[in-house]
Structure 1
Amino acid sequence: MQMDVIRIRKKLKKKLDEQRYEHTLGVAFTAMSLAMKYDVDLHKAELAGLLHDCAKCMPDERKLHKCEKYNIPISETERKNPSLLHSKLGAYLAEHKYGVKDPEILNAILYHTTGHADMTMLEKIIFVADYIEPRRNKAPNLSKVRKLAFEMMDEAVCKIMKDTLSYLEKKNAVIDDETMHAYEFYASETKKKK
């Protein structure tokens, strides 16, 4: 298992730019910390954290081409904003290039950008770790979300989604339907708990 991690790190260091590689290490570290808190398999959290952005540095045109080549479905939103495809393509590459066969890990990679309703704890961990890792410093409400992540995971997920949707609306950016549905789900779930 440890050899997998070392091999994957070496490959990623060649594929990602320096800033993205450092972010990836931060996400893996944060995911492992959250996994300890929520009793989730540390190895799965580390692998998903390391591989979550394995397709991120690929140019958008290449992402589109690869998704078409590998028959990965592309939504209208993703056609307009191909950078979103790094999650789907990343899950594909994690399985076919890095040898990950565990569906939990692959789904955590697949949904780390958009989220979805009723995520598993590992999916939530990668979604949140991507937002709160130590090198992130520009997101709104970051210190609040970092604290929430270790206390009330669903509230942290909901807050991240709300802030992300607000940011995208201000930029007049296209919003993925999956993210909107996920936000509605977690907003409803957190209301029930209050």
Structure 2
Amino acid sequence: MSWLNDREALLSQVRAQMHEKRYQHTLGVAETARQLALQYGADPDKAELAGFLHDYCKCWPVERMRDVLIRHDLPADLLNGDKELWHSFAGAIVIQTEMNVSDPDIIQAVRYHTTGRDGMTLLEKIVCVADYIEPNRIFPGVETIRSLASQDLDKALAQALGSTIQHLIQQKKTVYPLTLLAYNDLVSGLDT
């Protein structure tokens, strides 16, 4: 992969998009994604790159993300939904248009790392789980998800998405439809 030849330039470009705490999170996601890829048989370089890029737009002003989403005709339900989801969809566009990332696996992993979707690929699952469990994350239930991730990626992701859904319900916030579809898809394939 070409980014391996200029890793420092890539990291510098990523770092310029975010504050230090978000950058440290990004490094944690990239490393965790690489480890999970090695464990579960995905391409570790793709996983690491998707980890580096997953929050590329996270610290952008919402107006800037909205402009990207509108210019690229993304679904109205996304624009009308929780702004916390925007960065992943905007990021998938921006890494293509500004960073010349053309690998559809990496683009999709960035796009769905916050919402999930039904029929997630292995790489998408890895980046999504890595985002939940990277070492800097501290929240109730994270150790359970980490433990599950070491044994069964689908169970870990189902637990993570289930926790997110419960949290959103408790906060009286909407649950994005793709997240429900992802959760249902995962639990329907699990042994009970």
Question: What is the root-mean-square deviation of aligned Cα atoms in Å?
Answer: 1.3
Aligned to 1:10: 12
Contact persistence 2:81–2:176 (CA under 8 A): no
Contact persistence 2:46–2:106 (CA under 8 A): yes
Deviation of 1:74 after TM superposition, in Å, equals 3.3
Instruction: Give the match's secondary structure for 2:101.
Output: coil
Contact persistence 1:78–1:84 (CA under 8 A): no
Deviation of 1:145 after TM superposition, in Å, equals 0.7
Change (3 A) 1:64 1:74: farther
Q: Which amino acid aligns with 1:141?
A: G
Q: 2:61 aligns with which of 59, 62, 70?
A: 59
Aligned to 2:29: 27
Aligned to 1:165: 165
Aligned to 2:101: 100
Count residues in correspondence.
190
Where structure 2 has 5 or more consecutive residues not aligned to the other structure, the ranges are: none
Contact persistence 2:115–2:178 (CA under 8 A): yes
Contact persistence 2:148–2:155 (CA under 8 A): yes
- Following superposition of structure 1 onto structure 2, how do residues 12-161 of structure 1 map, counting pairs within 5 Å? 12-69=14-71, 71-138=72-139, 140-161=140-161
Q: Which moved more, 1:88-97 or 1:129-138?
A: 88-97
Alignment deviations for residues 14-65 of structure 1 (CA, whole Å, 9 cap, x no partner): 1111111110000000000001101211110011000000010011122112
Structure 1 stretches of 4+ with a deviation exceeding 6 A read none
Deviation of 1:93 after TM superposition, in Å, equals 1.1
Where structure 1 has 5 or more consecutive residues not aligned to the other structure, the ranges are: none
Scaled by the length of structure 1, the TM-score of the pair is 0.93
Q: Which moved more, 1:79-88 or 1:170-179?
A: 79-88
Instruction: Give the match's secondary structure for 2:129.
Output: helix
Q: Which amino acid aligns with 1:105?
A: I
